[in-house]
Amino acid sequence: MTARSAGARRRTRIGTRLLATVAVGALTMGAAQESAPADPGAPPRDRSPFTGVSADQGPVLAVKFDNARMARPHTGLAQADIVYVEKVEGGMSRLMGVYSSRLPQYVGPVRSARESDVELLRQFGRPALAYSGVRSSLNKMLKRSPLYVRSHGRLPGAYFRSGSRPAPHNLFVRPRSVLRSAPKADHPTDIGFRFGRAPAGGSPASVRTVRYASASHTFRWSPQERRWLASFDGAPARSTSGSRLGAKTIVIQYVDMPPSRYKDVNGAATPYIKTIGSGRATVLRGGKAYKTRWKRSSATGGTTFTRPNGERMPFAPGQVWMVFADR
């Protein structure tokens, strides 16, 4: 045997062993990836991370709703995946609907945005935001935010006024028109919600009310409808179709809401709703109230809700209402 042929055989054996080692490593890595534990409570990919329900998931759109007495009943709010209840100037309240699974033809009445909406909506990535307008100083801040801001002034063709109620409570928006102007708006991702069967424990509850200085929001459990029915300022909250507004899961989140640097036309300071941090919360579902803790570490992160035993608090599948209350 020549030295040349012996060297070739050695190189062949080394190459074979190297290929075998690489193959085994690849299989091991693949097995490790397949066996890596996923979050057992995270909604499957075919279900909305906002509702836990199977649905086509389009881009995320947030709409600011008027909630003055003259603005009721609301249109399209029942089709939102998430409904936020927010305190504004003078202890009044506004609503914000977050849409992805279903898009009504039009929704409203639409009103203005607030500074803390940017912090709240960052957990959705880069959603589109529809609103009626803001003061000039806040307008600059919103334009610099990572949101796709689409106000009435910027996108007038997406909005229209109804003659069925007086201004300013008569502005409506077409969601699809807004999203066509923001084709790169992000699709839904995990924002911390978990869905599943009701856990053991909880305290029997039939009604809960969150009050601001000039507004009240009451949620009453209906055994017949198996959901919490909403009332605003003592009157049943309804959609324009006549149906009651409400949800199977109501989350009362206790937060700090100090005065912000912005004021309304009357000089009243706008509350800044602090949704980054931690605190207590009450989750209403199935005729019970569950004490929980909420935590959100950063603007781009979601909010987790944890029971006293350290386990995540599951919500009932369906629309979720998030009600901010003073800490």
Rg of the Cα atoms in the chain: 25
Write the CA distances from 13 to 17, 19, 23, 25, 217, integer angstroms. 6, 10, 15, 18, 77
Residue 70, token pair as written in the block? 């003259």
Beta strands in the chain (DSSP E): 61-65, 82-87, 93-99, 128-131, 148-151, 159-161, 171-173, 203-204, 207-212, 215-222, 227-232, 235-236, 246-247, 249-255, 259-263, 269-271, 277-285, 288-296, 304-306, 320-326
Least confident of 25-29, 144-148, 253-257: 25-29
Residue 263, token pair as written in the block? 């004021």
**In 3D, which of 60, 53, 63 has the Cα closest to residue 179?**
60
Which sequence spans correspond to the domains of the chain? Answer: 1-36, 48-327
- Are 212 and 232 a contacting pair, CB within 8 Å? no
Residue 140, token pair as written in the block? 């600059």
Residue with structure tokens 């509702």?
51
Q: Which residues pair with 156 in a beta bridge?
A: none
Burial of 58 (0-12, 13-18, 19+ CB in 10 A): middle
User: What is the per-residue pLDDT across 91-122, written as a single tens digit (0 to 9) for each?
Assistant: 999 999 999 999 999 999 999 999 999 999 99
Q: How far is CA 205 from the centre of its chain?
A: 25
pLDDT at position 135, please?
A: 74
User: What is the per-residue pLDDT across 68-78, written as a single tens digit (0 to 9) for each?
Assistant: 999 999 999 99
User: What is the per-residue pLDDT across 194-221, written as a single tens digit (0 to 9) for each?
Assistant: 999 999 999 999 999 999 999 999 999 9
- Give the length of the chain: 327
Whether the pTM exceeds 0.75: the reply is yes
pLDDT at position 267, please?
A: 76
- Are 250 and 262 a contacting pair, CB within 8 Å? no
Instruction: Give the CATH H-level superfamily of domain 48-327.
Output: YerB-like (3.50.90.10)
**In 3D, which of 37, 73, 93 has the Cα closest to residue 212?**
93
- Angle of CA points 176, 129, 173, to nearest 5°: 45
